[in-house]
A and B are shown apart, each in its own frame.
Chain A
């Protein structure tokens, strides 16, 4: 190894110091939902996947596999199938529009939300309707889609490792001027045999997440305001609650 590490030893950070390049990439990254038609060069995609390959994982299990899809016709077909599935979900679960009647659908929704509490959170619930109605595009018209497959035999929690790996991919892409967006809706494709067969996905692999990749239209990146999170802070025998806006309350 002839390259020296960027951060050597303990680096002092002054209070209120300017953002370093890594922080900038992290803080300015926004999900991109409108892409140019221009395809991402192959070497760039390979480079981004390298960042994913070096993500931390439990027990160094590296429980991931990547599938890169850059075929426009194939992406369109996948999108069509996602829309079709969303229409099915909408038919059975959306009590606002379902022809099955409001009360029957509402009961069904209440039951299924309790079974799939995360997948049917109100936010994806709304997105299902938007996708089914064609108002929202599942893959946002991105020229490249990276599918992250999870190796189900991974150490402890493979899905967390997929998250680390994906975040590496997304931040590396951001640093190269690309736009990215996580698309959890690719998960729907695992319910049918069609795409599992076509993409050759079988045990131990399972579709976990997808990442759209492409050049953004306009300039969607930038620092925004976001809610402040409370932090409980234990130090020197006391507990502080770091509250909104950074005002500390010692308990």
Chain B
């Protein structure tokens, strides 16, 4: 029971095909977010943008294939705990992710 089929080994996914590729997904709590924009500055994939004016200024994940690599750096820098990654990126086929589970903080055993 191999985790890889022969076809999968041969097929290299192209970057923007959302049939089998999923990008990282963020959960952004817009009640906590004050739109300070630090997360969008440090995001390595530049996947977060700040939209809106005044009080409605909030962080949003780009809709059109955001280059989120689910690193959670945004969650680390956010002072209000307003956002975190809930879905990890997976490009499928040759680059599909193996042996990963849900997100969890460091665990004390």
Contacts and interface: CB of A to CB of B under 8 A. Distances in A.
B100 A31 contact: no
Contacts of A135: 46
Contacts of A113: 12
A126 interface: yes
B42 A33 contact: yes
Contact of B95 (A19, A122, A130): A122
Given A31-B71, A220-B76, A228 B12 contact: no
B75 A224 contact: yes
Interface residues of A, number: 45
Interface residue SS majority, chain B: loop
Given A30-B73, A34-B41, A126 B15 contact: yes
Contacts of B91: 121-122
A58 B77 CA distance: 37
B14 A109 contact: yes
Contact of B108 (A19, A33, A110, A125): A19
Nearest to B100: A227
A30 B52 CA distance: 29
A245 B77 CA distance: 25
B56 interface: no
B101 to A, nearest CB: 2
A30 B44 contact: no
B13 to A, nearest CB: 7
Interface of A: 15-19, 27, 30-34, 95-96, 106, 109-110, 113-114, 117, 121-123, 125-127, 130, 135-136, 218-230, 243-246
Interface of B: 12-16, 21, 38, 41-42, 44-46, 67, 69-73, 75-77, 79, 84-85, 88-89, 91, 94-95, 99-109
Given A15-B108, A122-B21, A221-B76, 10 more contacts: A16-B108, A30-B73, A96-B15, A122-B13, A122-B91, A123-B89, A130-B45, A225-B75, A226-B104, A227-B104
